Amino acid sequence: MRNKNVYMIGDDKIAKQNYSVARVVTHNRDDISKFERHIERKNDNYANMNVDLSQSHRNIQFKKCDCTYNDKLNEMVESKQVSLRGLKADAKVYDEMIFDVNTEYFESHGGYEFAKKFYEQAFHFAEKEMGSEYILSAVMHADEINLAASDKYGYPVYHYHLHIVTLPVVQKEIKWSKRCKDKALVGTVKEVVNQVSHSKKWKSEPMVDENGKTVLVPSYSLLQDKFFEYMQNAGFTDFVRGERGSTRENLSVLDYKISKDEERLKDIQKKIEIIEPAQIEYKKIDDIGKRTFTGKVQMSSDDYDKLTSLAKEAISSRADDQYYKDLVNSMQRQIDDLQYKLNRLKQLCKPYIEAIRIAPEKVKKFIDDILVKAREKAKVEKVKEEVPYPPIRKKPKKKSREDFER
Q: Is the pLDDT of residue 119 over 70?
A: yes
Domain-located, residue 99: yes
241 and 149 share a domain? yes
pLDDT at 330 over 90: no
Residue 85 has pLDDT above 80, yes or no: yes
User: For all residues of the chain together, what is the average pLDDT?
Assistant: 77
Same domain, 240 and 286: no
CA–CA dist 223, 100 (Å, integer): 13
Question: Taking each helix axis from N to C terminus, what angle separates 282-292 and 301-358, rounded to the nearest 10 degrees?
Answer: 140
Q: What is the pLDDT of residues 155-185, one digit of tens each?
A: 999 999 999 999 999 988 778 787 887 888 8
User: 326: closest CA among 276, 278, 273?
Assistant: 278
Q: Based on the domain organization, do 310 and 174 belong to the same domain?
A: no
CATH number at residue 197: 3.30.930.30
Check whether residue 208 and residue 299 sit in a common domain: no
DSSP assignment, residue 387? S
Residue 179 per-residue DSSP state: T
Q: Given the DSSP bridges, would you call strands 240-241 and 19-27 parallel, antiparallel or unpaired?
A: parallel
Within a 10 A sphere around the Cβ of 393, how many other Cβ atoms?
6
Q: For residue 164, what are the β-bridge partners?
A: 97, 138
The DSSP letter of residue 50 is: T
* Structural domain contains residue 269: no
Is 390 part of any domain? no
**How many domains does one find in the chain?**
2
Side-chain half-sphere CA neighbours of 30 within 13 A:
4
Q: What is the pLDDT of residue 259?
A: 61
Top-confidence residue, 335 or 99: 99
Asked whether residue 236 falls in the same domain as residue 351, the answer is: no
Same domain, 236 and 292: no
Selection from 31-45, 203-217, 256-270, 274-288 with the highest mean pLDDT: 31-45
Residue 262 CB partners (closer than 8 Å, separation 6+): 50, 298
The two beta strands, 12-15 and 60-63, are unpaired
Residues 231 and 282 in one domain: no
Q: Examine residue 392 and state whether it is found in any structural domain, yes or no.
A: no
Domain assignment present for 266: no
CA-CA-CA-CA dihedral for 237, 243, 245, 246, to nearest 10: -100
Q: Give the pLDDT score at 203.
A: 81
Query: 352 pLDDT band (50/70/90 cuts)?
Result: confident
Cα 265 to Cα 269: distance, rounded to the nearest angstrom: 6
Determine, yes or no, domain membership for 31. yes
In eight-state DSSP terms, residue 388 is: P
Q: Is there a single domain that holds both residue 207 and residue 117?
A: yes
Q: What would the pLDDT profile of 279-326 be if each residue is shown by its tens digit? A: 555 554 555 444 444 445 455 566 667 777 777 777 766 666 676 677
Does the pLDDT of residue 23 top 80, yes or no? yes
One domain, residues 244 and 335: no
Contact criterion met (CB below 8 Å) for 95 and 205: no
Is 246 within a domain?
yes
Asked whether residue 22 is domain-assigned, the answer is yes
* Domain membership of residue 325 as a residue range: 275-385
Same domain? For 172 and 297 the reply is: no
Residue 387 binned pLDDT confidence (cut-offs 50, 70, 90): low
Q: What are phi and psi of 132, to 5 degrees?
A: -60, -30
Same domain, 184 and 66: yes
Q: Are residues 20 and 135 in the same domain?
A: yes
